[in-house]
Chains A and B, each alone.
Chain A
């Protein structure tokens, strides 16, 4: 494997005075508006990208609060209705002894969203050079954020399946709570936030690559 310290310096399209298409890889001279191969809009670097990242991130953060405070599930057992929040659901599962599933729900609905907020914010700050971070860790973090985001949707699906399946009138019925909506929105907003990231900025932020800007 090549060693990062001795690897030859790689020329980017931007440094060569050209613009690369992020969709299909076609290279164009500057000033071309749309890619001739795939028709995507061309931008050497998406300068508004970080603003969009921050905006969607805060939107996701705001709707994540009611997602945790309001009930996710309304369970009616023999006429008695109990409401449970995301965290309450995890606690119930632990009481029932389903540790594995409790872990899945806890990771998907609490750990992943929270760490995603932190990770996206940290990435954006590090690209803006507000915080120090090694290039290698920044790349790993970005890949993790991109891959993991959609898996937070698990809990919303669980609520949907339970509410369609458990409809036994008096004996037992499960209905979705309002938190399901805000949680789904929170996942969607943070996904848009991560997708808004111009990944080339992350590579530009590596030491010594954009010192002449």
Chain B
């Protein structure tokens, strides 16, 4: 790599810059199963996996189904003094719906249910046509960017730890029964983590660009 007047000497389309630290590399194809990391900041650059796209779609679909189960089945049941109180995920979301805390209802709904669902749908929309060998769908780039943007805000796994803490707090007060929706939600978190581990952002972007051009 020559350093004199590099802008003229280097062809930008044959290069790749680390998204985290801007280190410049020549863009070579990474073999399936290998992982390319940035030499400076050790961020994963590319990690192509066999049938990664199909797996991501399947996991996103599984997550969507689990989310439906988690919303509609009873989440937690509490028994005290002969009375049973059932809380579904929707009740939890609506806990703040009275008085000054009302705006928090929207935030809760967004963090636990809406944003994760938008992410799953966006990924299915982007990767679905490509997995079946079609051209990427219209505005696929926008939806893939959206899925990436929402990633820190989808807080399902944080919510699960919150549930654990809440259970211990109430344990002395009453009997607690864990409903099927709770397990659906736990499975959802596991599936989400698996899916995000399969996703190599740069690899998917390159695939998207190649399929768009062909």
A: which residues have CB within 8 A of B?
2, 7, 10-18, 20-30, 37-40, 93, 96, 98, 100-101, 104-105, 139, 149-151, 153-168, 171-172, 175-178, 180-181, 184, 188, 191, 195, 199-200, 202-204
Picked from B85, B100, B205, the residue with its CB within 8 Å of the CB of A178 is B100
Assess A165 versus B152: contact at CB under 8 Å? Given A12-B21, A151-B158. Answer: no
Q: How far is the CA of A134 from the CA of B140 in the complex (A)?
A: 41
Q: Is the CB of B16 within 8 A of A26?
A: yes
Given A38-B205, A184-B104: A13 in contact with B24 (beta carbons within 8 A): yes
Given contacts A166-B85, A168-B85, is CB(A29)–CB(B91) below 8 Å? Answer: no
Cβ of B78 under 8 Å from chain A:
yes
| Contacting residues, chain B, for A160 (C-beta < 8 A) | 92-93, 95-96, 104, 108, 162
Find out whether the CB atom of A158 lies under 8 angstroms from the CB atom of B23.
Answer: no
Name B residues whose Cβ lies closer than 8 Å to a Cβ of A: 1, 3, 5-7, 10, 12-13, 15-24, 39-41, 45, 76, 78, 80-81, 83, 85, 87, 91-96, 98, 100-101, 103-104, 107-108, 111-112, 141-142, 144-145, 148, 152-153, 155, 158-159, 161-163, 165-166, 168-170, 172-174, 201-202, 205-206, 208-209
B12 touches A161 (CB 8 A): no
* Assembled-state Cα–Cα distance A17/B17 (Å): 12
Report the Cα distance A157→B96, complex, angstroms: 11
Report Cα–Cα, A154/B172, bound state, in Å: 20
Q: What are 19 of the A-B contact pairs (CB < 8 Å)?
A: A11-B24, A13-B23, A15-B24, A20-B22, A25-B18, A25-B205, A26-B13, A29-B7, A37-B141, A98-B168, A153-B158, A156-B108, A157-B112, A158-B166, A162-B170, A164-B87, A165-B166, A180-B101, A203-B20
B172 and A96 contacting across the interface, CB-CB below 8 Å: yes
- Partner of A39 from the list B142, B152, B153 (CB cut-off 8 Å) is B142
A162 to B168, CA, bound (A): 11
B21–A200 CB distance below 8 A: yes
**Cβ of A15: which chain B residues have Cβ within 8 Å of it?**
6, 24
Most chain B Cβ neighbours within 10 Å, of A27, A98, A150, A184 = A27
Q: How far is the CA of A37 from the CA of B158 in the complex (A)?
A: 33
